[in-house]
Homo-oligomer: A and B are copies of this chain.
Amino acid sequence: MNLYSFILRKDDTSLQKNKSEKYNKILNSAGAVFAEYGFYKATISQIAAQAGVADGTLYLYFKNKDDILYQFISFKTNVVFKEMHAAVKKGRNAEEKLRYLIRCHLTEFQNDRNMAIIFQSEVRYLRDIESQIKDISKMYLGLLSDIIEQGQIEGSMRQDLFIGLVKRFILGAVEGVISTWVSADGRYDLVSMADPLVDLYLTGLKG
């Protein structure tokens, strides 16, 4: 059902390394092509060409075109999941945790622009993928809830916050910043926005 079971289904042999390589090649090529043209305008032939294999070969590794996008998002989601959890753990108090989370978020997306584009724009399509995305989003919002509650206990954040709104507010603003960076073809350093952004969260426009 997930990425790992998929790989094992076909690669549980001594050939594992080779097949894995081709699988990854296709997945990366798909990421590039989807990011450039969008899922629907991207064609199997384009992806195959980019990966240097025949069209039919994609169907040895993926069920169909939808499945390629699904696998891509599953894989990236898992990776980012782990990084973010680790990042939050490093923080010793709520403010630090928030800072690490935002920094991690921006770092991951800056390092994988195709992923950034795909997460941002192909989110809405397949039902499966939609719930996949909702999962990552839920996880993220869960992390934020914990941080805010901790901040309230610590006394570093106000008690009257409507957490449901605050979570969205924080996530929306990061995504907005990423979105702009993508539109600007990634021509500036995204990660350097992290601290100013967190300052805005914490102290607002009035200061």
Contacts and interface: CB of A to CB of B under 8 A. Distances in A.
Interface string A123-164: 111000000001000000000000010010000111011100
Contact of A124 (B121, B134, B177, B180): B121
Interface in A179-207: 179-180, 183, 193, 196-197, 200-207
A175 to B, nearest CB: 6
A27 B159 CA distance: 47
20 contacts: A134-B183, A148-B205, A151-B205, A160-B207, A162-B196, A165-B177, A165-B200, A166-B205, A168-B176, A168-B179, A171-B176, A172-B176, A172-B177, A175-B175, A175-B176, A176-B176, A202-B206, A203-B204, A204-B205, A204-B206
A203 B205 CA distance: 6
A200 B162 CA distance: 10
A157 B193 contact: no
A174 interface: yes
A5 to B, nearest CB: 28
A190 to B, nearest CB: 11
Interface string A8-41: 0000000000000000000000000000001010
B200 A203 contact: no
Interface string A93-136: 00000000000000000000000000011011100000000100
A173 interface: yes
A113 to B, nearest CB: 14
A192 to B, nearest CB: 10
